[in-house]
Protein backbone atom coordinates (compact mmCIF):
# COMPACT_ATOMS: atom_id res chain seq x y z
CA UNK A 1 0.00 0.00 0.00
CA UNK A 2 2.82 2.43 0.82
CA UNK A 3 4.47 1.91 -2.55
CA UNK A 4 1.14 2.24 -4.35
CA UNK A 5 0.32 5.51 -2.56
CA UNK A 6 3.77 6.90 -3.33
CA UNK A 7 3.47 6.08 -7.03
CA UNK A 8 -0.04 7.54 -7.01
CA UNK A 9 1.25 10.84 -5.62
CA UNK A 10 4.19 10.91 -8.03
CA UNK A 11 1.92 10.14 -10.98
CA UNK A 12 -0.54 12.90 -10.12
CA UNK A 13 2.30 15.41 -9.74
CA UNK A 14 3.83 14.57 -13.12
CA UNK A 15 0.37 14.36 -14.68
CA UNK A 16 -0.47 17.85 -13.44
CA UNK A 17 2.53 19.17 -15.37
CA UNK A 18 1.37 17.39 -18.51
CA UNK A 19 -2.09 18.83 -17.96
CA UNK A 20 -0.84 22.42 -17.71
CA UNK A 21 1.02 22.04 -21.00
CA UNK A 22 -1.92 20.22 -22.60
CA UNK A 23 -4.27 23.14 -21.91
CA UNK A 24 -2.12 25.29 -24.22
CA UNK A 25 -2.41 22.69 -26.98
CA UNK A 26 -6.15 22.31 -26.64
CA UNK A 27 -6.86 26.07 -26.54
CA UNK A 28 -4.93 26.77 -29.75
CA UNK A 29 -6.31 23.72 -31.56
CA UNK A 30 -9.84 24.56 -30.48
CA UNK A 31 -9.73 28.02 -32.08
CA UNK A 32 -7.60 27.68 -35.22
CA UNK A 33 -7.48 23.90 -35.65
CA UNK A 34 -3.68 23.82 -35.62
CA UNK A 35 -1.38 21.68 -33.47
CA UNK A 36 1.29 24.02 -32.13
CA UNK A 37 4.17 21.56 -32.01
CA UNK A 38 6.46 24.34 -30.77
CA UNK A 39 4.53 24.41 -27.49
CA UNK A 40 6.72 21.73 -25.89
CA UNK A 41 9.89 23.66 -26.63
CA UNK A 42 8.22 26.84 -25.39
CA UNK A 43 7.67 24.97 -22.12
CA UNK A 44 11.39 24.09 -22.07
CA UNK A 45 12.31 27.71 -22.78
CA UNK A 46 10.16 28.82 -19.84
CA UNK A 47 12.02 26.39 -17.56
CA UNK A 48 15.32 27.90 -18.73
CA UNK A 49 13.96 31.39 -18.02
CA UNK A 50 12.95 30.24 -14.53
CA UNK A 51 16.45 28.85 -13.95
CA UNK A 52 18.08 32.14 -14.99
CA UNK A 53 15.71 34.12 -12.75
CA UNK A 54 16.44 31.87 -9.77
CA UNK A 55 20.18 32.31 -10.28
CA UNK A 56 19.84 36.10 -10.42
CA UNK A 57 17.50 36.39 -7.43
CA UNK A 58 18.93 33.75 -5.09
CA UNK A 59 22.59 33.43 -6.05
CA UNK A 60 23.50 36.92 -7.24
CA UNK A 61 21.08 39.14 -5.28
CA UNK A 62 20.94 36.90 -2.21
CA UNK A 63 17.15 36.76 -1.86
CA UNK A 64 16.42 34.50 1.11
CA UNK A 65 12.63 34.12 0.84
CA UNK A 66 11.84 31.17 -1.43
CA UNK A 67 8.14 32.10 -1.55
CA UNK A 68 8.96 35.57 -2.89
CA UNK A 69 11.46 34.08 -5.33
CA UNK A 70 8.84 31.63 -6.65
CA UNK A 71 6.25 34.37 -7.14
CA UNK A 72 8.70 36.70 -8.87
CA UNK A 73 10.05 33.94 -11.11
CA UNK A 74 6.51 32.85 -12.00
CA UNK A 75 5.49 36.41 -12.93
CA UNK A 76 8.62 37.06 -15.00
CA UNK A 77 8.38 33.68 -16.71
CA UNK A 78 4.72 34.16 -17.64
CA UNK A 79 5.41 37.62 -19.10
CA UNK A 80 8.52 36.64 -21.09
CA UNK A 81 7.08 33.35 -22.36
CA UNK A 82 3.86 35.10 -23.39
CA UNK A 83 5.87 37.64 -25.38
CA UNK A 84 7.75 34.83 -27.10
CA UNK A 85 4.56 33.01 -28.05
CA UNK A 86 2.87 36.24 -29.18
CA UNK A 87 5.83 36.90 -31.50
CA UNK A 88 5.76 33.32 -32.78
CA UNK A 89 2.07 33.59 -33.62
CA UNK A 90 2.55 36.91 -35.42
CA UNK A 91 5.63 35.85 -37.41
CA UNK A 92 5.30 32.11 -38.02
CA UNK A 93 1.57 31.31 -37.89
CA UNK A 94 -0.60 34.30 -38.79
CA UNK A 95 0.79 34.77 -42.35
CA UNK A 96 0.05 31.08 -43.06
CA UNK A 97 -3.46 31.01 -41.61
CA UNK A 98 -5.18 31.05 -44.99
CA UNK A 99 -2.76 28.69 -46.74
CA UNK A 100 -3.01 24.92 -47.17
CA UNK A 101 -3.33 22.95 -43.92
CA UNK A 102 0.21 21.52 -43.80
CA UNK A 103 1.93 24.92 -43.99
CA UNK A 104 1.28 25.96 -40.35
CA UNK A 105 2.28 22.48 -39.20
CA UNK A 106 5.59 22.68 -41.04
CA UNK A 107 6.12 26.16 -39.63
CA UNK A 108 5.41 24.89 -36.10
CA UNK A 109 8.00 22.13 -36.47
CA UNK A 110 10.51 24.71 -37.71
CA UNK A 111 9.81 26.97 -34.73
CA UNK A 112 10.25 24.00 -32.40
CA UNK A 113 13.68 23.24 -33.86
CA UNK A 114 14.64 26.92 -33.76
CA UNK A 115 13.75 27.25 -30.06
CA UNK A 116 15.61 24.06 -29.14
CA UNK A 117 18.75 25.07 -31.00
CA UNK A 118 18.56 28.64 -29.69
CA UNK A 119 18.62 27.37 -26.09
CA UNK A 120 21.40 24.90 -26.90
CA UNK A 121 23.60 27.60 -28.46
CA UNK A 122 22.86 30.32 -25.90
CA UNK A 123 22.87 28.22 -22.71
CA UNK A 124 24.96 25.19 -23.64
CA UNK A 125 24.07 21.52 -23.93
CA UNK A 126 24.58 20.60 -20.27
CA UNK A 127 21.74 20.43 -17.75
CA UNK A 128 21.03 23.49 -15.61
CA UNK A 129 20.48 22.76 -11.90
CA UNK A 130 18.25 24.86 -9.68
CA UNK A 131 20.12 26.71 -6.88
CA UNK A 132 20.65 24.46 -3.87
CA UNK A 133 18.97 26.91 -1.48
CA UNK A 134 15.70 26.72 -3.41
CA UNK A 135 15.81 22.94 -3.74
CA UNK A 136 16.57 22.51 -0.04
CA UNK A 137 13.73 24.82 1.01
CA UNK A 138 11.23 22.80 -1.06
CA UNK A 139 12.52 19.34 -0.14
CA UNK A 140 10.26 18.89 2.92
CA UNK A 141 8.17 15.72 2.98
CA UNK A 142 5.12 14.82 5.07
CA UNK A 143 4.56 11.15 5.89
CA UNK A 144 1.01 9.99 5.15
CA UNK A 145 1.39 6.21 5.43
CA UNK A 146 3.76 3.77 7.09
CA UNK A 147 3.80 -0.01 7.17
CA UNK A 148 6.06 -2.99 7.80
CA UNK A 149 6.21 -5.64 5.07
CA UNK A 150 6.13 -9.39 5.69
CA UNK A 151 9.93 -9.56 5.40
CA UNK A 152 10.39 -6.90 8.08
CA UNK A 153 11.11 -3.89 5.87
CA UNK A 154 9.63 -0.52 6.82
CA UNK A 155 7.98 1.35 3.94
CA UNK A 156 6.62 4.89 3.97
CA UNK A 157 4.55 7.01 1.63
CA UNK A 158 5.11 10.75 1.84
CA UNK A 159 3.66 13.86 0.27
CA UNK A 160 6.40 16.29 -0.72
CA UNK A 161 6.13 20.06 -0.56
CA UNK A 162 6.93 20.13 -4.28
CA UNK A 163 3.93 17.92 -5.06
CA UNK A 164 1.65 20.09 -2.90
CA UNK A 165 2.88 23.18 -4.74
CA UNK A 166 2.14 21.55 -8.11
CA UNK A 167 -1.34 20.37 -7.06
CA UNK A 168 -2.37 23.76 -5.68
CA UNK A 169 -0.98 25.68 -8.65
CA UNK A 170 -2.70 23.41 -11.17
CA UNK A 171 -6.06 23.63 -9.39
CA UNK A 172 -5.94 27.42 -9.06
CA UNK A 173 -4.87 28.03 -12.67
CA UNK A 174 -7.42 25.61 -14.07
CA UNK A 175 -10.19 27.36 -12.11
CA UNK A 176 -9.03 30.80 -13.31
CA UNK A 177 -8.78 29.81 -16.97
CA UNK A 178 -12.05 27.89 -16.87
CA UNK A 179 -13.75 31.02 -15.52
CA UNK A 180 -12.17 33.18 -18.24
CA UNK A 181 -13.27 30.85 -21.01
CA UNK A 182 -16.75 30.22 -19.61
CA UNK A 183 -17.80 33.50 -18.00
CA UNK A 184 -16.05 36.45 -19.69
CA UNK A 185 -16.41 38.33 -22.96
CA UNK A 186 -12.98 37.06 -24.01
CA UNK A 187 -14.16 33.50 -23.47
CA UNK A 188 -17.29 34.14 -25.55
CA UNK A 189 -15.10 35.53 -28.33
CA UNK A 190 -12.88 32.45 -28.14
CA UNK A 191 -15.85 30.10 -28.32
CA UNK A 192 -17.27 32.07 -31.25
CA UNK A 193 -13.96 31.81 -33.13
CA UNK A 194 -13.88 28.09 -32.36
CA UNK A 195 -17.29 27.57 -33.96
CA UNK A 196 -16.90 29.82 -37.01
CA UNK A 197 -14.18 32.45 -37.40
CA UNK A 198 -15.77 34.13 -40.41
CA UNK A 199 -19.14 34.50 -38.74
CA UNK A 200 -17.44 35.71 -35.54
CA UNK A 201 -15.66 38.42 -37.55
CA UNK A 202 -18.96 39.48 -39.15
CA UNK A 203 -20.47 39.82 -35.68
CA UNK A 204 -17.72 42.19 -34.55
CA UNK A 205 -15.24 39.81 -32.89
CA UNK A 206 -11.61 40.80 -33.43
CA UNK A 207 -10.42 37.36 -34.56
CA UNK A 208 -6.72 38.21 -34.79
CA UNK A 209 -6.70 39.74 -31.31
CA UNK A 210 -8.60 36.77 -29.87
CA UNK A 211 -6.16 34.27 -31.37
CA UNK A 212 -3.16 36.26 -30.13
CA UNK A 213 -4.59 36.36 -26.60
CA UNK A 214 -5.20 32.61 -26.76
CA UNK A 215 -1.55 32.04 -27.63
CA UNK A 216 -0.57 34.31 -24.74
CA UNK A 217 -2.78 32.37 -22.31
CA UNK A 218 -1.34 29.05 -23.45
CA UNK A 219 2.19 30.41 -23.06
CA UNK A 220 1.43 31.61 -19.53
CA UNK A 221 0.36 28.09 -18.55
CA UNK A 222 3.46 26.64 -20.21
CA UNK A 223 5.58 29.08 -18.18
CA UNK A 224 4.05 27.87 -14.92
CA UNK A 225 4.53 24.25 -16.03
CA UNK A 226 8.19 25.00 -16.83
CA UNK A 227 8.71 26.46 -13.35
CA UNK A 228 7.02 23.46 -11.71
CA UNK A 229 9.12 21.08 -13.85
CA UNK A 230 12.31 22.80 -12.68
CA UNK A 231 11.15 22.65 -9.06
CA UNK A 232 10.13 18.99 -9.27
CA UNK A 233 13.18 17.58 -11.09
CA UNK A 234 15.78 20.15 -10.02
CA UNK A 235 17.31 20.64 -13.46
CA UNK A 236 16.44 21.36 -17.08
CA UNK A 237 18.08 20.62 -20.42
CA UNK A 238 17.44 21.91 -23.93
CA UNK A 239 16.15 18.43 -24.84
CA UNK A 240 13.47 18.48 -22.15
CA UNK A 241 10.83 20.07 -24.36
CA UNK A 242 10.16 17.29 -26.87
CA UNK A 243 9.03 14.33 -24.75
CA UNK A 244 6.85 16.32 -22.28
CA UNK A 245 5.41 18.20 -25.27
CA UNK A 246 4.43 15.00 -27.07
CA UNK A 247 2.93 13.54 -23.89
CA UNK A 248 1.02 16.75 -23.22
CA UNK A 249 -0.42 16.66 -26.74
CA UNK A 250 -1.34 13.03 -26.11
CA UNK A 251 -3.04 14.13 -22.88
CA UNK A 252 -5.05 16.74 -24.79
CA UNK A 253 -6.20 14.12 -27.30
CA UNK A 254 -6.93 11.55 -24.59
CA UNK A 255 -8.99 13.98 -22.52
CA UNK A 256 -10.77 15.42 -25.54
CA UNK A 257 -9.14 18.12 -27.61
CA UNK A 258 -10.91 21.41 -26.95
CA UNK A 259 -11.84 20.58 -23.35
CA UNK A 260 -9.85 22.30 -20.59
CA UNK A 261 -10.83 19.82 -17.83
CA UNK A 262 -10.23 17.02 -20.33
CA UNK A 263 -6.66 18.20 -20.95
CA UNK A 264 -5.87 18.13 -17.23
CA UNK A 265 -7.65 14.79 -16.78
CA UNK A 266 -5.70 13.30 -19.69
CA UNK A 267 -2.43 14.60 -18.26
CA UNK A 268 -3.11 13.08 -14.86
CA UNK A 269 -4.07 9.74 -16.42
CA UNK A 270 -0.83 9.65 -18.40
CA UNK A 271 1.20 10.53 -15.32
CA UNK A 272 -0.54 7.79 -13.32
CA UNK A 273 -0.02 5.19 -16.03
CA UNK A 274 3.70 6.07 -16.22
CA UNK A 275 4.39 5.90 -12.49
CA UNK A 276 2.19 2.89 -11.75
CA UNK A 277 3.85 1.01 -14.61
CA UNK A 278 7.30 1.89 -13.25
CA UNK A 279 6.29 0.78 -9.76
CA UNK A 280 4.75 -2.49 -10.95
CA UNK A 281 7.63 -3.76 -13.06
CA UNK A 282 11.40 -3.86 -12.87
CA UNK A 283 14.29 -3.79 -15.31
CA UNK A 284 13.64 -3.50 -19.02
CA UNK A 285 9.88 -3.93 -18.64
CA UNK A 286 9.62 -0.74 -16.55
CA UNK A 287 11.30 1.18 -19.38
CA UNK A 288 8.31 0.46 -21.62
CA UNK A 289 6.09 2.90 -19.74
CA UNK A 290 5.67 5.03 -22.88
CA UNK A 291 4.40 1.99 -24.77
CA UNK A 292 1.78 1.51 -22.07
CA UNK A 293 0.75 5.18 -22.27
CA UNK A 294 0.26 5.21 -26.03
CA UNK A 295 -1.44 1.80 -25.97
CA UNK A 296 -4.06 3.20 -23.60
CA UNK A 297 -4.44 6.21 -25.89
CA UNK A 298 -4.97 3.99 -28.93
CA UNK A 299 -7.55 1.84 -27.15
CA UNK A 300 -9.40 4.92 -25.90
CA UNK A 301 -9.56 6.51 -29.35
CA UNK A 302 -10.79 3.29 -30.93
CA UNK A 303 -13.85 3.22 -28.68
CA UNK A 304 -14.11 6.98 -27.93
CA UNK A 305 -12.67 8.92 -30.89
CA UNK A 306 -13.63 12.26 -29.31
CA UNK A 307 -11.64 11.50 -26.14
CA UNK A 308 -12.86 11.18 -22.58
CA UNK A 309 -14.54 14.59 -22.21
CA UNK A 310 -14.59 15.78 -25.82
CA UNK A 311 -17.73 16.40 -27.80
CA UNK A 312 -18.34 14.39 -30.98
CA UNK A 313 -18.20 16.48 -34.11
CA UNK A 314 -21.49 16.91 -35.97
CA UNK A 315 -21.29 17.57 -39.70
CA UNK A 316 -24.17 19.50 -41.20
CA UNK A 317 -25.31 18.51 -44.68
Report how far residue 22's alpha carbon sits from residue 50's, in angstroms, rounded to the nearest whole number. 20
Q: Which pLDDT does position 63 carry in this prediction?
A: 87
Q: Which pLDDT does position 312 carry in this prediction?
A: 65
Higher pLDDT, 69 or 281: 69
Query: What does DSSP say about strands 128-129 and 235-236: parallel, antiparallel, or unpaired?
Result: antiparallel
Per-residue confidence at 22, pLDDT binned at 50, 70, 90? very high
Non-local (6+) Cβ contacts of 216 within 8 A are 82, 85, 86
- Tens of pLDDT, residue by residue over 105-127, are 899 999 999 999 999 999 988 99
Report how far residue 79's alpha carbon sits from residue 73's, in angstroms, rounded to the nearest whole number. 10
Report how far residue 8's alpha carbon sits from residue 277's, in angstroms, rounded to the nearest whole number. 11
Closest CA to 87 of 52, 123, 45, 56: 45
**Contact (CB, 8 A) for 226 and 43:** yes
Report how far residue 227's alpha carbon sits from residue 91's, in angstroms, rounded to the nearest whole number. 26
Q: Is residue 287 pLDDT above 80, yes or no?
A: no
**What integer best gives the mean pLDDT of the chain?**
88
Distances 132 to 55, 129, 178, 228 between C-alpha atoms, Å = 10, 8, 35, 16
Q: What is the pTM of this model?
A: 0.90
Scored b (16 or more CB within 10 A) or e, 29-68 reads bbbbebbbbbbbbbbbbbbbbbbbbbbebbeeeebeebee
- Tens of pLDDT, residue by residue over 236-260, are 999 999 888 888 988 988 888 878 8
Beta partners for residue 156, in sequence order: 146
- Tens of pLDDT, residue by residue over 90-104, are 999 999 887 887 888
Q: Is residue 306 pLDDT above 90, yes or no?
A: no
pLDDT, mean of residues 145-156: 78
- Tens of pLDDT, residue by residue over 50-85, are 999 999 999 899 888 889 999 999 999 999 999 999
Amino acid sequence: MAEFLQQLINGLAVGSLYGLIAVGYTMVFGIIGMVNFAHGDLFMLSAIIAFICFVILVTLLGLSSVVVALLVVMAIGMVLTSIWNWAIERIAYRPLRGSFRLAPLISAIGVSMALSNFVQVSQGAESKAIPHAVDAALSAKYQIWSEVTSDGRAMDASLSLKAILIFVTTAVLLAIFWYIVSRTSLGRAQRACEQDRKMAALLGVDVDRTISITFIMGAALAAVAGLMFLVLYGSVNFRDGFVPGVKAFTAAVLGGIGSLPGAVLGGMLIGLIEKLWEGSFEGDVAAYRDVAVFSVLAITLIFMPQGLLGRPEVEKV
